[in-house]
């Protein structure tokens, strides 16, 4: 069940990153100046902004589902992947080149998150051979 939670959390991270990038693109296309409360009405009617909101809601729902299957120490660190995805999406959207230091940061973030999650799953999901086998109370020894 924990690996199902990891899968759900990965999909949630993807949805959260896509939702954030989609809403950001909608806001920057809408106005070049600071966002004002008077502009919010037009954003709510903007299909791109609403799509981003739906993706953020889906990501949150998937995260909650993952938390029902695994502990927070397994699920929460997977959110770091959203940073990686957002960085890559933003660079693509703005036609930016990713420099060596950023690639290094992306690599460390991904590897560190993966090691943490594998260790957390191993620490919270002991192998079955470690669990003592007990007879049911109705079976005499």
54-103 pLDDT, tens per residue? 999 999 999 999 999 998 989 999 999 999 999 999 999 999 999 999 99
Instruction: Report how far residue 122's alpha carbon sits from residue 134's, in angstroms, rounded to the nearest whole number.
Output: 23
pLDDT number for residue 136: 56
1-22 pLDDT, tens per residue? 788 999 999 999 999 999 999 9
User: Residue 141 pLDDT > 70, yes or no?
Assistant: no
Residue 113 lies in a domain: yes
Residues 6+ apart with CB under 8 A from 83: 17, 109
CB burial string 56-82: b at 16+ within 10 A, e below? bebbeebbebbbebbeeebbbbbbbbb
| Parent domain of 120 | 2-127
Residue 141 lies in a domain: no
108-128 pLDDT, tens per residue? 999 999 999 988 888 887 555
Residue 71 lies in a domain: yes
Nearest by Cα to 117 from 69, 71, 85: 71
Residue 88 lies in a domain: yes
Instruction: Give the mean model confidence (pLDDT) for residues 26-48.
Output: 80
Residue 22 lies in a domain: yes
Question: How many domains is the chain built from?
Answer: 1
With bands split at pLDDT 50, 70 and 90, how would you rate the model's confidence at 137? low
Residue 80 lies in a domain: yes
Residue 137 lies in a domain: no
User: Of residues 92 and 132, which shows the higher confidence score?
Assistant: 92
């Amino acid at each position: 069940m924990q690996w199902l939670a990891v899968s759900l959390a990965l999909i949630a991270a993807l949805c959260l990153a896509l939702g954030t990038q989609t809403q950001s693109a909608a806001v920057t296309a809408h106005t070049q100046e600071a966002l004002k409360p008077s502009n919010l009405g037009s954003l709510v009617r903007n299909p791109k902004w609403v799509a981003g909101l739906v993706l953020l809601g889906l990501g949150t729902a998937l995260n909650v589902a993952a938390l029902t299957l695994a502990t927070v120490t397994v699920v929460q660190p997977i959110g770091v992947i959203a940073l990686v995805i957002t960085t890559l999406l933003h660079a693509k959207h703005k036609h930016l080149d990713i420099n060596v230091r950023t690639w290094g940061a992306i690599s460390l973030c991904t590897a560190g998150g993966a090691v943490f999650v594998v260790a957390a799953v191993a620490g919270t999901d002991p192998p079955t051979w470690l669990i003592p086998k007990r007879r049911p109370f109705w079976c005499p020894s």
